[in-house]
Amino acid sequence: MIPVRGLQGQKVAILGLGRSGLSAARALAAGGAVPICWDDNPAAKARAEAEGFICQPLKTPSDFDDIARLIVSPGIPHLYPEPNPVVAAALEAGVPVDNDIGLFFQSFATEAWNSFDVAPRVVAVTGSNGKSTTSALIHHILSEVGRPCQLAGNIGRGVLDLEPPIDGEVVVLELSSYQTELARSLTPDVAVFTNLSPDHLDRHGGMGGYFAAKRRLFAEGGPDRAIIGVDEAEGRYLAGQLSEGRADDRVIRMSVEQKLTGPGWQVFARKGFLAEYRKGKQTASVDLRQVPGLPGAHNHQNACAAYAVCRSLGLAPKVIERAFHGFAGLPHRSQLVGEKNGVRFVNDSKATNVDAAAKALMAFENIRWICGGLEKEGGLAELGAAASVRKAYVIGREAAAFALKLPVAAEVCTTMARAVEQAMRDAEAGDVILLAPAAASFDQYDNFEQRGEDFMAEVARHL
């Protein structure tokens, strides 16, 4: 646990008592603060009370008279699509609003670091797609070379559940826009921006607000090194804002769409090869085509980001390349789950938006595509990558309407069981049956993991 520093003896309100909320309450109490908790869910409130935490309503500005700060769980919208009444009451009372990420950064460094030979470092990864794989890949590479490291944030443990760092340790954090938008302290040593595509637009009031939430990791924190994907206009803009000029190697630009040259520091992947350029000269090359855990251009972007982070931490190119080959990938992200009669089955249930699904489609050929669910803002127009799709099998409550918007032949299946059955009926040797929904899962499942597990269970039943 990371005890929260700087709030000793003060009352701190916590809104939302899920994983991060309860973790924040424990860490605040460990640091000498007095947590005051609230959640509209009676079961969540009961769990907090069972641990001895005070629970009381937070409804009006007067409820915040003796509160030093309000900590909001990431799943709770605070401003859009409409102001949260508890957050509004805190702000009206003049109480600062924060989250567990802000508490982590204000509490991570301690006096114990004075005796360390190498100060611990924090790597923070954000972006629309690929941040989980990138974070896990960085953690894997560091583990392979024996560097002490921990993984947390939007993946693995909550940030305040981490162990206090030891000499030379690296903490790798995956941070979503929900986590970066409110944190009052954001001070990573290395920060990564993978890419940007429309997602969570209702939560952020549009693309501008969504990008602004991601940008805070760089603008508020001022990392020593920034690794920026420049294949979108927003990434190029961000790199330009952070850089003092073309030769400023504090910014590492990365791409999977173009060769990057110039006097600075660049990492890019083309035709399956990763290349590193510094001061206009190539310094390293890695063949990604034979790395089974990183298939497709989208994973090559993840490899570029992880490579750049590890190079900035002092690892040699050949060391990173060897570690790539031991990476098994993450569940529900281009996960090969089986093969029968020359037909492969791939689970990419994490492809919850159009951009992620398009990248998954570009990674394979001869695809029997299982897709559908709760369509997100922005529509399905960008699914031009569906050229490699032989047929789509659409699931979800609105499967018929979803199918009409697809640029390929589609069969309305509604359920996962029928989609897998029909795709297997049609499949031929050399085909890939790919789950890449391009939609949220909440019309049929609790989360994308449950959807992916359903797909794998149906595949296993037939295999």
pLDDT at 239: 96
**By three-state DSSP, how is residue 319 classified?**
helix
The band of 462, judged by pLDDT with boundaries at 50, 70 and 90, is confident
3-class secondary structure per residue, 359-428: HHHHCCCCEEEEECCECCCCCCCCHHHHHHEEEEEEECCCHHHHHHCCCCCEEEEECHHHHHHHHHHHCC
| CATH 3.40.1190.10 matches 104-324 | yes
Q: What value, to the nearest 5°, has the Cα angle with vertex 324 and ends 323 and 327?
A: 95
Residue ranges of the binding site for ATP: 127-133
Question: At residue 387, does pLDDT exceed 80?
Answer: no
pLDDT at 423: 97
Round to whole Å and give the CA distance between 75 and 78.
9
pLDDT at 196: 94
Per-residue pLDDT, averaged over 379-383, amounts to: 70
Read off the pLDDT of residues 271-320 as tens digits, 9 standing for 90 and up: 999 999 999 999 999 999 989 888 888 899 999 999 999 999 999 999 99
Residue 379's identity, in one-letter code, is G
The band of 79, judged by pLDDT with boundaries at 50, 70 and 90, is very high
Average of per-residue pLDDT values in the chain: 93
What is the dihedral sign for C-alpha 60, 62, 67, 69?
positive
Confirm if 140 and 326 have CB atoms less than 8 A apart. Answer: yes
Read off the pLDDT of residues 144-198 as tens digits, 9 standing for 90 and up: 999 999 999 988 789 999 999 999 999 999 999 999 999 999 999 999 999 998 8
Tokens read off for 405: 């918007």
Question: Which of 104-118, 129-143, 287-301 shows the lowest per-residue confidence on average (mean pLDDT)?
Answer: 287-301
pLDDT at 386: 60
Give residue limits of the domains in the chain: 11-98, 104-324, 335-462
Round to whole Å and give the CA distance between 392 and 407.
9
Work out the number of other CB atoms within 10 angstroms of the CB of residue 68: 16
Question: At residue 385, does pLDDT exceed 60?
Answer: no
Confirm if 330 and 294 have CB atoms less than 8 A apart. Answer: no
Round to whole Å and give the CA distance between 187 and 171.
12
* Residues of the chain above pLDDT 70, percent: 98
Round to whole Å and give the CA distance between 413 and 346.
18
Per-residue pLDDT, averaged over 433-460, amounts to: 94
Q: 296-312 vs 354-362: helix axis angle to the nearest 10?
A: 100
Question: At residue 50, does pLDDT exceed 60?
Answer: yes
Helix (H) and strand (E) counts for the chain? Answer: 15, 20
Per-residue pLDDT, averaged over 260-273, amounts to: 94
| CATH 3.40.50.720 matches 11-98 | yes
The C-alpha R_g of the chain, in whole angstroms, comes to: 23
Question: At residue 359, does pLDDT exceed 90?
Answer: no
The band of 331, judged by pLDDT with boundaries at 50, 70 and 90, is confident
Question: At residue 38, does pLDDT exceed 80?
Answer: yes
Tokens read off for 21: 């909320």
- Non-local (6+) Cβ contacts of 23 within 8 A are 100, 158, 159, 160, 161
Per-residue pLDDT, averaged over 355-376, amounts to: 90
Cα 191 to Cα 29, 109, 177, 344: the distances in Å are 30, 18, 14, 36
Per-residue pLDDT, averaged over 38-52, amounts to: 94
In CATH, the architecture of 335-462 is Alpha-Beta Complex (3.90)
Any idea what DSSP says for residue 18? Answer: S
Per-residue pLDDT, averaged over 52-65, amounts to: 94
Longest dimension (CA), the chain: 68
Which regions of 202-320 does DSSP assign to beta strands (E)? 225-229, 251-255, 265-270, 273-278, 281-287
Per-residue pLDDT, averaged over 330-352, amounts to: 90
